A and B are shown apart, each in its own frame.
Chain A
């Protein structure tokens, strides 16, 4: 009996802005085919896109693991970047540690984490300075 669970894995290239968003767009297509409601798909896609951009900008790349079952979608972003110094502060709207160059590109508005929180039902961030970050969010179906 095959399980009612689908797992997907995406490698996220660091500093490749053109590739950022490809994981969320793939997940979007899959969710559409399994019959998830359009509004829920939108929430997952936006949260994933923000996390992907964060992984590209701040961590120099990482891995996204997506686990889908009929009740929820769980997404885990793992990176070995610099880590987040003050998670609470990082969650604030408008707060960003992005460099001037990154801001010039139109990123680093400080909305990433707050958007992920806004669009997900559960968000958990574990981070250690100098070691990396594991960001997990859940959207219920």
Chain B
């Protein structure tokens, strides 16, 4: 089994203010605020990075590798995501960006955009066989792939059983380096230059294959400054082998465009993706052949580890102009080599109880507790909604007084009881009368 507990998305404890921003935006309700700090429920997190994007205190981050890690290897290969090409001012050429990567210490570059073209060709072949369940859902976005495994088990058969461009690039780059330079596999370090937190998780615990192909992930954010500096001080070399078909994968709609599939849906933004998948699951979407779903707004260019605003990055990717003639790098791959080598499996989130009778009782309790809560879904209790709090109470992780409105009610009731006790004369001669002025002096304390 894979270690599914590793997550790239993590909390910087000291920066967290315990507010409700991430709590309310998390698409899988994987966050709770406990003791004034956000906690990520690992079992539910799909590494979408929404919390990284919405945290005003920058208390959420993705664990990525330091650029210095490339020094641990005799031969370091950079795999730049196509998103990288849309991140710079003054629209530098792709050759200059790739040359810059060599300048900052990599020995070689292999473009993920090139691998994306190869995945497109393989997908075309696979779609032609007619063996895939329609609509076919792209598995390239690791968040969507994880979401399907956890929440849409009925759609596992619809997921395109192909490795992602990142994994294909890693495989090919390593094979080439071994062949060309006579290196041992362990002497080679393959590093993905990532816009995405979920890719970091995927690199460690791949979907659809056993062996991890990636030795490290460096975020675009972290590599940006050294790369810009290096690009200023170097002359570009002809390194690019990708074409627009692969580069366009950086934005949502690019993959299905490259596939040339007319009956397609391209959906972006994790909440929208969930809506579309719900409809597919309920047989409400018919006559669609292919669904390209990206967790981030705009596609990978909207990733949490990018530098440029995703709308500007989109225009930059669209404006890339390349010579018509395709560069022949002699790479050709067998369909079998990019297919999933192990079947993907349902990874359910734990239900209320393994005994369905008890689970039903608990669900009934949840319903009752929920109807008694104010229904504001304010998040002040630390759960994203009143329903989530009711569930947490039944699961034993919270109590009703976590709700500030319930707490206020309880305090009010207690105060009333004390006043009543006073009125029936309980306090006569004992000096525990509650007087208006005493109350007020207490309040100013």
Residues of A within 8 A of B (CB): 2-6, 8, 21, 24-25, 30, 32-36, 38-39, 41-42, 45-46, 49, 68-70, 141
Cα distance A34–B356 when bound, in Å?
A: 6
B359 contacts the other chain (CB 8 A): yes
Please list the 4 inter-chain residue pairs (A to B) with the smallest Cβ-Cβ separation, ordered nearest first.
Answer: A4-B357, A34-B359, A38-B153, A35-B351
Residues on A with C-beta less than 8 A from B151 are 32
B361 contacts the other chain (CB 8 A): yes
Cα distance A82–B354 when bound, in Å?
A: 44
Interface contact A49-B356, CB-CB below 8 Å = no
In chain B between 333 and 357, which residues have their CB closer than 8 angstroms to a CB of chain A?
Answer: 346, 351-354, 356-357
Partner of B282 from the list A8, A32, A45 (CB cut-off 8 Å) is A45
Residues on B with C-beta less than 8 A from A6 are 360, 363-364, 367
Cα distance A104–B265 when bound, in Å?
A: 21
Partner of B356 from the list A38, A41, A70 (CB cut-off 8 Å) is A70
In chain B between 45 and 88, which residues have their CB closer than 8 angstroms to a CB of chain A?
Answer: none
Interface contact B365-A33, CB-CB below 8 Å = no
Interface contact A46-B283, CB-CB below 8 Å = yes
Cα distance A30–B284 when bound, in Å?
A: 20
Cα distance A45–B356 when bound, in Å?
A: 19
Query: What are 9 A-B pairs with beta-carbon distances under 8 A?
Result: A4-B360, A4-B361, A5-B360, A6-B360, A38-B154, A41-B154, A42-B282, A46-B282, A49-B284
B211 contacts the other chain (CB 8 A): no
Partner of B352 from the list A24, A35, A46, A69 (CB cut-off 8 Å) is A35
With A2-B365, A39-B154, A42-B154 in contact, is A34–B282 under 8 Å at CB? Answer: no
Main secondary structure of the interface of B (DSSP, over half): helix
With A32-B351, A35-B354, A46-B283 in contact, is A25–B278 under 8 Å at CB? Answer: yes
Closest Cβ of chain A to B113, distance in Å, is 36
Interface mask (B279-317 → A, CB under 8 Å = 1, otherwise 0): 001111000000000000000000000000000000000
Closest Cβ of chain A to B409, distance in Å, is 25
Cα distance A30–B390 when bound, in Å?
A: 13
Residues on A with C-beta less than 8 A from B346 are 38
Residues on B with C-beta less than 8 A from A39 are 154
Residues on B with C-beta less than 8 A from A35 are 351-354, 356, 359
Cα distance A33–B392 when bound, in Å?
A: 13
Cα distance A68–B414 when bound, in Å?
A: 39
Residue of A2, A34, A42, A70 contacting most chain B CB atoms (<10 Å): A34
Closest Cβ of chain B to A82, distance in Å, is 25
Taking CB as reference atom, which chain A residue is nearest B349?
A: A32
With A6-B367, A24-B282, A46-B283 in contact, is A34–B360 under 8 Å at CB? Answer: yes
With A35-B356, A49-B282 in contact, is A2–B364 under 8 Å at CB? Answer: yes
Interface contact B360-A68, CB-CB below 8 Å = yes
Partner of A42 from the list B281, B351, B352 (CB cut-off 8 Å) is B281
Apart from A8-B367, A45-B281: 10 A-B pairs, beta carbons within 8 A: A2-B365, A5-B364, A6-B367, A25-B278, A33-B351, A33-B359, A34-B353, A34-B359, A45-B282, A68-B360
Cα distance A103–B372 when bound, in Å?
A: 42
Interface contact A34-B365, CB-CB below 8 Å = no
Taking CB as reference atom, which chain B residue is nearest A8?
A: B367
Interface mask (B390-402 → A, CB under 8 Å = 1, otherwise 0): 0100000000000
Taking CB as reference atom, which chain A residue is nearest B366?
A: A33
Cα distance A29–B153 when bound, in Å?
A: 13
Taking CB as reference atom, which chain B residue is nearest A37?
A: B153
Cα distance A3–B361 when bound, in Å?
A: 7
Closest Cβ of chain A to B364, distance in Å, is 5
Taking CB as reference atom, which chain A residue is nearest B152?
A: A38
Residue of B154, B360, B364 contacting most chain A CB atoms (<10 Å): B360
Taking CB as reference atom, which chain B residue is nearest A68?
A: B360
Residues on B with C-beta less than 8 A from A25 are 278
Cα distance A52–B361 when bound, in Å?
A: 26
Closest Cβ of chain B to A86, distance in Å, is 26
With A25-B278, A38-B346, A42-B154 in contact, is A33–B363 under 8 Å at CB? Answer: yes
Cα distance A42–B277 when bound, in Å?
A: 12
Closest Cβ of chain A to B147, distance in Å, is 14
Cα distance A25–B359 when bound, in Å?
A: 19
Cα distance A35–B391 when bound, in Å?
A: 15
Closest Cβ of chain A to B238, distance in Å, is 51
Cα distance A70–B216 when bound, in Å?
A: 47
Cα distance A49–B278 when bound, in Å?
A: 12
Closest Cβ of chain A to B222, distance in Å, is 38
In chain B between 407 and 443, which residues have their CB closer than 8 angstroms to a CB of chain A?
Answer: none
Residue of A3, A35, A45, A46 contacting most chain B CB atoms (<10 Å): A35
